[in-house]
Chains A and B, each alone.
Chain A
Amino acid sequence: MTATAVRTAVVEARGLSKSFGGFRAVHDVSFELHEHEITGLVGSNGAGKTTLLNLIYGRNSITDGRLLLDGTDVTRQPAFRRVRRGLGMVFQHTTIFPTMGVRENLRLGALRKHPGADPSSPDEIEAMLERVGLAEQGDVEAATLSHGEQQWLEIGMVLLAKPTVVLLDEPTSGMTKAEAARMADLCRTLIEQQAVRSMMVVEHNIDFIRHISNHVLVMHRGTIIAAGTIDEVQHDQAVRDAFLGRQA
């Protein structure tokens, strides 16, 4: 008798579409993000990757289709409710609190998950400062950090909110090779230690995707044209046609 691996879908997108006036930025996109998996989302500029992320976390309303988070329909829910259901979003362009201290930024991330205790200086925040490499800068103003440090701060802030699914939009943008390797380690560790149940990473850096992801979606002109391992999609005829310009 062989054991059958049950893949639990944490996020289910069913026929998602988004139109801006007459322009269809995302059209009939369906996929699942599974537990213990990091899904890469790749595609050329303008393929609709960022719009798709916006639909998932709630920045843009969904024109058509359904979005389920742990089986619950969140299609019409605002962003903050989706976050409360476990979504976490890390942006390419950092969205920190520049006039506050680094530790205060992390406190804001942690605060909502700690209704009973004061998390002004708990071990959790100190541990996160260590984890994101900002232990020496806990009291400095966030605006004074370098771009790379601000990215790590944002990741720390999002992780302290205890998300079950993390969406990352080009996390290695502006990072050195060493920092990108550290980011890959962090992503893998979070999944292996089950600190996060699932992740979706939008990235142009295919090497990074290859390092962290066992499942890749390829977007082209607002639709998903291929899905599978990175080797599978690289040999997919539709992908070759799209990127070699042979598709209409």
Chain B
Amino acid sequence: MARSTRVRIAELVLLAALIVAPLVVHDAFTIDRFGRYLLYAVFAISVDLIWGVGGVLTFGHAAFFGAGGYLAAIFMERGGWFLPLPLWPAIALAVACVAMFAVLLSGLAFRGPFPMRGVELAVITLAVAYLLEQYARAGGRLTGGQNGILIGPRLTVFGINVHRGRNFYLLAAATLIVCYVVARWFVSSRAGLVVRGIRDNEPRVDLLGYHVPNMKIAVFVLSATLAALAGALFYVHEGIITPGAVGVAASTQVLLWVALGGRATLIGPIVGTIVLQHLTATLSGRLLDTWILVIGALLIVVVMLFPAGVLGWLDRGPSR
């Protein structure tokens, strides 16, 4: 059996174990919490696509995660014209709007008069997240300003309440599995191979005749779309969305999950997210004043020992 096949099988077993393990817990609150982690994991996969696979570092990806939540909230909670919308049409429209925004933003960044690369793009994404956060704070009735938007509708599927506990967990797990499969399919596809090539050596991809900007736009839009879907479900479940959802802090936090788990592995960011979130929740309850220092020290040690992330190390060995 080829090594890549063995790694893929190991990934699937790990993914299944991660998803099934919390179900043995009967505490509804804990299961609900792990459901939130799974949606965060979808967010991490979206960042892994653009950063790990595409090589485009983004400091503002929460703009898409939070925008998914904000737009879903606005479409459900604000009136006028065709609004308010029911739950799923609102989520679908929110995701579509974020995807359109990603097309415009990436089109400007990659195909505009001054195509951007590396740090330039990282700064632009940072600026977008900052601007959206400021707009959300100052947005008045539309965004609710500092107080954000309270979201009334509850998550339901075919009339079944999936808003809390085990049902919510299953919804989050299903979302994660679908998004993981989509991301894995993309990475394995021809487009994914070209995007990985761009990460490794953009000028050579150009000199093999591929249209580099279009490939970057494709992965950027896919990444933003997954983030928006996760964000919409996450904040509807939360019942409230506030300006921090689209901000810089949330954007950098997800980078840690991905870096810890292992860039360009897809499964690594899932592990990184769940482990870090669970650790944070556990330690913050026990070490009231020092938990953040412990987490910070742990992150530094792990990044020094495993520069490619834990799963990256297992996947490719200790050389990188």
Contact = CB atoms under 8 A, between A and B. Distances in A.
A157 B200 contact: no
A98 interface: yes
B203 to A, nearest CB: 6
B206 A80 contact: yes
Interface string A75-104: 000111001100001000001111110001
Contact of B194 (A79, A89, A108): A108
Contacts of B196: 97, 99-100
A96 B201 contact: yes
Given A97-B201, A100-B197, A108 B206 contact: no
A62 interface: no
B208 interface: yes
Given A96-B204, A99-B200, A161 B209 contact: yes
Contacts of A79: 206-207
Contacts of A83: 206-209
Nearest to A111: B190
A108 B209 contact: no
Interface residues of B, number: 20
B56 to A, nearest CB: 16
A230 to B, nearest CB: 29
Contacts of A112: 208-210
Contacts of B206: 78-80, 83
B174 interface: no
Contacts of B209: 80, 83-84, 112, 161
Interface in A134-187: 139, 157-158, 161
A80 B212 contact: yes
Contacts of A84: 209
A65 B163 CA distance: 67
Contacts of B207: 57, 79-80, 83, 89, 95
A34 interface: no
Interface residues of A, number: 24
Closest 7 CB pairs of A and B: A83-B209, A97-B200, A95-B204, A84-B209, A80-B206, A108-B197, A112-B209
B310 to A, nearest CB: 18
A188 interface: no
A18 interface: no
B111 to A, nearest CB: 12
A99 B209 CA distance: 20
A107 interface: yes
Given A80-B209, A80-B210, A83-B208, A95 B197 contact: no
B276 interface: no
A109 interface: yes
Nearest to A144: B319
Contacts of B200: 97-100
A79 to B, nearest CB: 5
A161 B207 CA distance: 10
Contacts of A98: 200-201
A107 B201 CA distance: 15
Given A89-B207, A161-B208, A95 B194 contact: no
Given A83-B207, A97-B201, A111-B193, 13 more contacts: A79-B207, A80-B207, A80-B209, A89-B207, A97-B196, A97-B200, A99-B199, A100-B196, A107-B193, A108-B193, A112-B208, A139-B2, A157-B208
A78 B206 CA distance: 9
Contacts of A107: 193
A104 B193 contact: yes
Contacts of B2: 139
Which of B194, B196, B201, B203 is most buried by chain A, counting CB atoms within 10 A of its CB?
Answer: B201
A33 B194 CA distance: 31
Contact of B208 (A59, A100, A104, A108): A108
A20 B150 CA distance: 59
A99 B2 CA distance: 18
B201 A80 contact: no
B262 to A, nearest CB: 13
A48 to B, nearest CB: 21
A157 B211 CA distance: 17
Interface string A45-86: 000000000000101000000000000000000111001100
B205 interface: yes
Nearest to B211: A80
Contacts of A100: 196-197, 200
A95 B203 contact: yes
Which of B197, B200, B208 is most buried by chain A, counting CB atoms within 10 A of its CB?
Answer: B208
Given A95-B201, A98-B200, A99-B200, A109 B208 contact: yes
B86 to A, nearest CB: 42
A112 B190 CA distance: 9
Contacts of B211: 80
Contacts of A108: 193-194, 197, 205, 208
Interface string B188-226: 001001101101110111111111100000000000000
Nearest to A78: B206
B106 to A, nearest CB: 18
